[in-house]
Structure 1
C-alpha cells in the first residue's frame, strides 16, 4: 500500500497552491484567507501571538516561528524543554481542546491576548460550540487539517502565507517532500513478500497496539514495514487490545515501543521469549523528545521516525545516521543538539 503516492502528493500541492493564491487578498488592516475547512477568515495583520487548539497544532506553529506562540497546551517537562528554542521554554500553559478531558478555559485564553487561534479540523465533540464562542468574542479561528503528509504540506504553505513566513514554510515543505521521495524509492526496491513484519507495543504489558490503518502506526507503513496487526479501527486513536496467542501467531521480526516499562521487562519475560524479534534483539524504543517520533496523533516528527525505522528495518537499503537526526532538529526545531544530547534522545 502506498501511503503518500508522489504523483498525487505533487498534484495536491499544485492545486492547493493555486487555490491559496486566489484565496489570499488584503483588506485595510486584515488578510482574508480561505482555511482548510473552506471558510473565509478575516485575519488581523500583523500577527503577534497565535494559539493552537491541540499539541500537534502548536508544534506546527512552533516550527514556523516559536516567537509567535501564545502558550502551550500541556506543561513541558525539563527533559523536553532543552530540545526547544529558548523563546518557547517559559511560555504559559493554556490548555486546549483535543479530547481526553482537556478543555481550555476561554478566559485564560483571552488573558494571553492571541491574535489568532488555529484549530485542528474536523472538530470533535463540543469543539464546534467552542469555536462559535471564540468567534462571538471577536477571536478569529483558522482551521487546518493534520491527518497525513499532504495535509501537513498544505498547512505549512497556507500558514506560511498567513504568518508571513513563506520562505520558512517552503524550506520545511522541501524537506518533507525530499525525504518522502526517498522513502517512496525504498518501497519500489522492497518486494511485498520481503517486507519486514513489525509489531507496535503501546502499553506496559505490550499487549495494546495500533491497527495497520491507524494514525499511531502509520509510520510503520511509511517506513515500508508490514504491521502484523490487521484490524478495523474502532477508536479515534486506533488502539486495541491483543492477546499473547495472537502475538505468537504473528511472530513479528521487529517490535517497536514507546513504553519504557515494557522495554525494561520484555527480554526477561518468558512469555515473549519465542518471538523472533526477542531472539534476534530487534526491539527498538521510539524516541520521544521533544515530541514523539511516531506520535499517537499525526505529526511532522513522523518523517524523522519513518527514516529512523526504515534504516532499522532495511539497514543495507536505506541510509540514515546521527547527522541526519541532528540536521532535522536544527531544521524543524531550531536547536543544535550535541552528541551527548543525541544519546539521551535515543534511550528510554
Structure 2
C-alpha cells in the first residue's frame, strides 16, 4: 500500500467532511481493539474476500464494492445489482491492490476485515483507521468460529435478526457434522493432500486457514508436519506422501493431472480420488477462506467419509445459496454445478 500519507491529509479531511455523521457506539473486535462505530452503518468497505462474502450475506445493501469484480459465470448466482458492484481491490492478504485514496473515494463508514487478528493485521487496521478516520474492525476468520463471526459482524452492522438466522444455520450444520465425526475412529480418518494452483504443488501447512476444512473434518493433512500458511512443495514430496485423497481448487490441475505419468503413481490419481472444489460464485474449499466454506463442509465430508455421510447436495446447495447469496439456484444451475468433472463425491 503506498505510503504517501502526508500528501493525503487535505483530501482525507475533505472526504471525511462529506460522510454522514451518526452517534457513536463502542465495539471490541477480535484483536481486542476498542473501535467507535457509527450508530447506523450504511456503507461498508470489505478489506479482503472473506469479509466481502459475510458482509454480502448479512447486509448486502451496505457493501460498497467487491475486492474483485464478478466474472460473467459468477454473476449468475447472485442478484444482478450486487453482481454489478464495482471492484475496489483488497487491503490485506497476498496481492493487496487497494490504497487509502481508493478507500476514501468509496466513502465507507466502516471497514471490515476477517482472517488473522495478529499484531501485523491489528497494526494495519490502526494505521488505516488513523489515516482515514474510518472505523476499522478485525474479526477472527477461523472456520470453527463462523457462527460467532456472523453474530459479531451482525452486531456491528446493526443486522442482529439476520445474524441470528445465519448463525443458527451455521451452528446446526457444524453440529450435525461434528457429532458424527466424533464417532469415527482415528484409523478410519483419511490422509488428504490439498493441491492448490495449476501445478498442484502449493498447499497449506498445519493451521493454515486454506486447509482448515481438512483438519476441521478430522482428516489428516499430509503437509501438517510443521505449522504455517501456504507453501510450495516438490512433486517428489507428493509422491512420497502418496495421498489416498487429493482435493484441488484448480480446474487446470484437475484436467491435466490424469495425463502426467509421475502423478499416475500417486494412489489418489490411480484410484480416481482427485476432487475439484466447486467455485461458483465463491469457492467451496478455499478462494476465499470465508463463510462460503460452510456448504463445502457438507461436500467434503461425503468425500472423506462416504460410509458416514450421504447429503442431498442439490437441496443443501439450494438452501445455502438462497440464505447466504440471496438467490436460489435454478435446477439447471444446480445440475451443471454438481456435474462438473471432479465435483461429485461418488
**TM-score, length-normalised on structure 1?**
0.83
Label 1:270 to 1:66 Cα distance change in 2 as closer, same or farther (>3 A).
Answer: same
State the shift of 1:127 in Å: 7.4
State the shift of 1:128 in Å: 3.0
Counterpart of 1:143 (choices 111, 119, 138) is 138
1:345 aligns with 337
The separation in 2 between residues aligned to 1:226 and 1:66, in whole angstroms, is 36
1:79 aligns with 73
The separation in 1 between residues aligned to 2:183 and 2:96, in whole angstroms, is 44
Gaps of 5+ in 1: 1-27
Counterpart of 1:275 (choices 258, 266, 281) is 266
Label 1:47 to 1:34 Cα distance change in 2 as closer, same or farther (>3 A).
Answer: same
The separation in 2 between residues aligned to 1:252 and 1:101, in whole angstroms, is 30
The reply to whether residue 263 of structure 1 matches residue 267 of structure 2 is no
Compare 266-275 and 284-293 and name the one that shifted more.
Answer: 266-275
1:206 aligns with 200
Q: SS at 1:270's partner residue?
A: coil
State the shift of 1:74 in Å: 1.6
The separation in 1 between residues aligned to 2:202 and 2:33, in whole angstroms, is 39
Label 1:262 to 1:199 Cα distance change in 2 as closer, same or farther (>3 A).
Answer: same
Gaps of 5+ in 2: 1-21, 342-346
Q: 1:119, 1:143 within 8 Å by CA — same for their partners in 2? A: yes
Q: SS at 2:323's partner residue?
A: helix
Q: 1:224, 1:310 within 8 Å by CA — same for their partners in 2? A: no
The reply to whether residue 37 of structure 1 matches residue 28 of structure 2 is no
Q: SS at 1:36's partner residue?
A: coil
Q: 2:282, 2:288 within 8 Å by CA — same for their partners in 1? A: no
The reply to whether residue 231 of structure 1 matches residue 231 of structure 2 is no
Q: 1:256, 1:285 within 8 Å by CA — same for their partners in 2? A: yes
Q: SS at 2:182's partner residue?
A: helix
Q: CA RMSD in A?
A: 2.4
Counterpart of 1:164 (choices 158, 163, 170) is 158
Q: SS at 1:94's partner residue?
A: coil
Counterpart of 1:116 (choices 103, 110, 113) is 110
State the shift of 1:133 in Å: 4.4
**TM-score, length-normalised on structure 2?**
0.84
State the shift of 1:324 in Å: 0.9
1:22 aligns with none
Q: SS at 1:51's partner residue?
A: strand
Q: 1:73, 1:93 within 8 Å by CA — same for their partners in 2? A: yes
State the shift of 1:130 in Å: 6.3
Q: 2:91, 2:99 within 8 Å by CA — same for their partners in 1? A: no
Structure 1 residue runs of 4 or more that deviate by more than 6 Å after TM superposition: none
What count of residue pairs does the alignment treat as equivalent? 318
